[in-house]
Structure 1
Amino acid sequence: MHRPHALTWVACFLYASVLIAGLAVASTAPVDPVRLCAFAGAVLVAGALEIAEWRGPATRAVALAGLVVRTAVYAVITVLDGSGNAKVLFVLLPLTAYFTVGHRVAYTLAGGGLLLAGAVVIGRPALRQDPEALSDLLMFAIGIVFALAIAVIAEREETGRRRAETLLTELSDAHARLREYADQAVTLATVAERTRVARDIHDSVGHHLVVIAIQLEKSAAYRTVDTDTADRALAEGRRSARLALDEVRRAVGTLRADDTQFTLGCSLRALAARLHDPGFAVTLDLTGSEDTVGEPVRLALYLAAQEALTNARRHSGATAVAVRVDLTPTTGVLDIADNGTGFAPGTAEGQGLGGMRERLDLVGGEVRITSTSRGTRLLVTIPVVAR
């Protein structure tokens, strides 16, 4: 067990008190010098033993040997002491044992010491009738009880201090981990926000830029053949440019969000009208009520349709695309099929399809894409949460 430093100082204080009291009594009456020197030497040996155990290794064997040596030294000091105060030193035995060899040994020494002292006093008629002897026995018992009570209090205080230090260390470690987790959360949030911004730019601004490029190419191709068609394509390109500018402003927060509710049917019709031309026919079939699905689901379906139609217009070589949307109280379904050349299985998905899957994951949806040499089909299914 841990030996507190205060135990050494208490023991040395008692040794010094007994030594001073013994020397004071010796100065008032003739005393054998040899006996006095032996008395002082025994007290000094007891003090040296305390200091040696304080600085030495705290093993159980050493502690037990120290208790035996102390008992012998205290007996010698008591015999040589002319003041009669050395008996108080035996109180140190259970007190020291409590911290060095354990509670049981301390309680055994305390009980054994009290029984032995009581037997000596009661067993001798002269001491039994001596008020001073009875008073010494009572004070010895009080001293034993007081010493053990102080030991229990000191042990609990030491245990509480160590527990507080342990908790403080654990709290510091937890604080460090929490700070590390907070840094990781900030990093993940930053990455997630960058991914969201990139996805939004691709799905909104990127789409409008693709439409602008298509309409400008169409205007240039029809300029010498059909000026009306070329002018309409150029006007549509300007409109897409303004929409792209609005999206950019909304993305950087310079415009307030529009309070009007997003309408899937109107948005899909406008999308189909922008992409429809004689070489790329877009048909739209929308069934069900938009009131059965929430706006996040409607927006996810629209962005998936926008990505699929843009890809079909740019890469598939298709001349016709059929878009079917079915909104029910349980699911929102988007089915897009074209008559293009398709693509080979295992082809790496671009950022657009990756962003589509991420958006659908956010609302619990899934997408399946099948492609052959006769065309490509994209099927999106999103479960509808009860509103």
Structure 2
Amino acid sequence: MSRQKEIQSHPDDPTITAQIESNERFTGVSINVVMIIMALVALLPLLFDSDFFGLPAWHIGAILFLWLIYIINGTLGMMLHERHLDFALAPILYFGLQIATMAGLLFLTSGVNGSMAILILPIAAQSLAHSWSFTAVVSTTLMGLLWIIYFPNQPWQEAIINLLSIGAAMVFTLIFTNIAVRESNTRSEVQRLAADLHQANHRLAEYAAQAEELATMRERNRVAREIHDNLGHYLTVVNVQIEAAKTIMDSNPNKAQDALSKAQRLTQEGLTAVRQSVSALRESPLENQTLSEAISKLVAESRETGLVTELTIEGNPTASNPKTELTLFRAVQEGLTNVRKHARASRIDILLRYAPSQTVLSIKDNGMGTAVSDKTDGSFGLIGIQERVQLLNGQMNIHTAPYEGFQLTITLPQ
């Protein structure tokens, strides 16, 4: 991964970015220092050779000029080359110029003592930034320059020894450089993985906070639904009992007293349920009874208000998810409450059907009905039931029309 790509992949992590930039600067400076030292080592023997200063001025100037070109291209040119690796001609231009410069230096210094031959080593090492085949081409070309240009002026035994020595030095340089490059790449990879881990931990912390917030919101909604379902149910029944007591107070005081006693009892039960819901510690109404038994109690309470309420259970009750049973119970509770409050109905039919793969609940009244657009408008209870059903991957359907009654159907998977 290139320096630019590594930095772009971690734009929000200044620590990792700083480490990558620091490593890049250190590596670049180290390469430049090695290049300059090698160039000085190659030039110094010439400066102490009397034959060198016996050369024409243009010859000396040409050697020094090419030597400077070698250093400038090997440092600044290499940095520019690394920044444009995506440019297909970049390696050809850089190494072509270095090899041409090297050929000129070898040709101009072939008749004097010197160590210009060692300058092929940095070029070969730099070629490792590309494929092994590219490195092989560059290295072979450099060794060919030595054999064709530099060594012909030497005795063949000495030329072979020098060629083998330079070849061994090149192999060592390539191996050492490859190890150094792999170590640098490994260090960069470790830093990248550390940055990825840091970002993953940061995202995980964000997700955990979001999950906690969502759980809190869901719990608030659950408590709100519990309060509405319980309070709405109890207050509706209490209101019906009080209205009944007021109606028969003069004609049948004993029956009116019974209605008021029931209203008082229901008020106490409702207050207890609300307190338990607020504290979020309320036990499920199905804690010690089956769903059928709990719904039967709701039906009995509805009948006490004078409303004809019929319950039909089909199929064999199976062990269901507690959340499924609680949702069905709350749906019956909300349906009975809405009928008593709004429907002006005289009859309610409740159907609970157990099937192998699903449970179906139907609540139907013969009341006033409502328009399609008003099915759930203003009804927090129905919205709450719909939310419960959606959380269980179920379906809730409403069929109604003015003066045609109201039917609520809920289908939940087992």
In the other structure, the counterpart of 1:382 is 411
Task: Give the whole-Å Cα distance in 2 for the aligned partners of 1:274 and 1:78.
Answer: 115
Asked whether the 8 Å contact 1:21–1:85 carries over to 2, the reply is yes
Please give the secondary structure, in 1, of the residue aligned with 2:405.
strand
In the other structure, the counterpart of 2:301 is 274
C-alpha deviation, 1:48, in angstroms: 5.7
C-alpha deviation, 1:313, in angstroms: 0.8
Q: Which moved more, 1:38-47 or 1:327-336?
A: 38-47
Report the CA distance shift for 1:361/1:160 in structure 2 as closer, same or farther (over 3 A).
same
1:50 to 54, 61, 71: 71
In the other structure, the counterpart of 1:94 is 124
Kindly report which structure 2 residues correspond to 1:246-257, keeping only aligned pairs within 5 A, or say none. Answer: 246-253=272-279, 255=281, 257=283
Asked whether the 8 Å contact 2:103–2:145 carries over to 1, the reply is no
Asked whether the 8 Å contact 2:227–2:278 carries over to 1, the reply is no
Task: Give the whole-Å Cα distance in 2 for the aligned partners of 1:260 and 1:176.
Answer: 41
Please give the secondary structure, in 1, of the residue aligned with 2:371.
coil
Task: Give the whole-Å Cα distance in 1 for the aligned partners of 2:390 and 2:76.
Answer: 68
**Cα shift readout 1:49-77 (whole Å, capped 9, x = no counterpart):** 41355235434435422331232124434
Alpha-carbon RMSD = 4.0
Asked whether the 8 Å contact 1:293–1:329 carries over to 2, the reply is no
In the other structure, the counterpart of 2:137 is 108
1:11 to 21, 35, 41: 35
Letter in structure 1 aligned against 2:119: L
Asked whether the 8 Å contact 2:353–2:359 carries over to 1, the reply is yes
C-alpha deviation, 1:232, in angstroms: 1.8
Task: Give the whole-Å Cα distance in 1 for the aligned partners of 2:386 and 2:136.
Answer: 74
Percent identity of equivalent pairs: 25
2:235 to 209, 215, 229: 209
1:69 to 98, 101, 111: 101
Task: Give the whole-Å Cα distance in 2 for the aligned partners of 1:293 and 1:110.
Answer: 76
Task: Give the whole-Å Cα distance in 1 for the aligned partners of 2:126 and 2:403.
Answer: 96
Task: Give the whole-Å Cα distance in 1 for the aligned partners of 2:290 and 2:144.
Answer: 97
Report the CA distance shift for 1:335/1:133 in structure 2 as closer, same or farther (over 3 A).
closer
Q: Are 1:355 and 2:384 matched, yes or no?
A: yes
In the other structure, the counterpart of 1:189 is 215
2:249 to 213, 217, 223: 223
Letter in structure 1 aligned against 2:217: V
Q: Are 1:315 and 2:330 matched, yes or no?
A: no
Report the CA distance shift for 1:120/1:32 in structure 2 as closer, same or farther (over 3 A).
closer
C-alpha deviation, 1:111, in angstroms: 2.3
2:362 to 331, 335, 340: 335
2:182 to 156, 162, 170: 156
Task: Give the whole-Å Cα distance in 2 for the aligned partners of 1:260 and 1:108.
Answer: 82
In the other structure, the counterpart of 2:86 is none
Asked whether the 8 Å contact 2:236–2:340 carries over to 1, the reply is no
Kindly report which structure 2 residues correspond to 1:254-269, keeping only aligned pairs within 5 A, or say none. Answer: 255=281, 257=283, 260-269=287-296
Task: Give the whole-Å Cα distance in 2 for the aligned partners of 1:295 and 1:317.
Answer: 33
Task: Give the whole-Å Cα distance in 1 for the aligned partners of 2:174 and 2:332.
Answer: 84
Please give the secondary structure, in 2, of the residue aligned with 1:276.
helix
Report the CA distance shift for 1:364/1:181 in structure 2 as closer, same or farther (over 3 A).
closer
**Cα shift readout 1:69-125 (whole Å, capped 9, x = no counterpart):** 2321244345343xx4343234344334555x875554234324445656799989x
Size of the aligned set, in residue pairs, is 375
Task: Give the whole-Å Cα distance in 2 for the aligned partners of 1:346 and 1:245.
Answer: 34
Asked whether the 8 Å contact 1:281–1:320 carries over to 2, the reply is yes
Task: Give the whole-Å Cα distance in 1 for the aligned partners of 2:316 and 2:220.
Answer: 34
TM-score (norm 2): 0.73
C-alpha deviation, 1:337, in angstroms: 3.1
Report the CA distance shift for 1:365/1:4 in structure 2 as closer, same or farther (over 3 A).
closer
Asked whether the 8 Å contact 1:367–1:381 carries over to 2, the reply is yes
Letter in structure 1 aligned against 2:38: L
Letter in structure 2 aligned against 1:11: M
C-alpha deviation, 1:315, in angstroms: 0.9
Report the CA distance shift for 1:42/1:299 in structure 2 as closer, same or farther (over 3 A).
same
TM-score (norm 1): 0.77
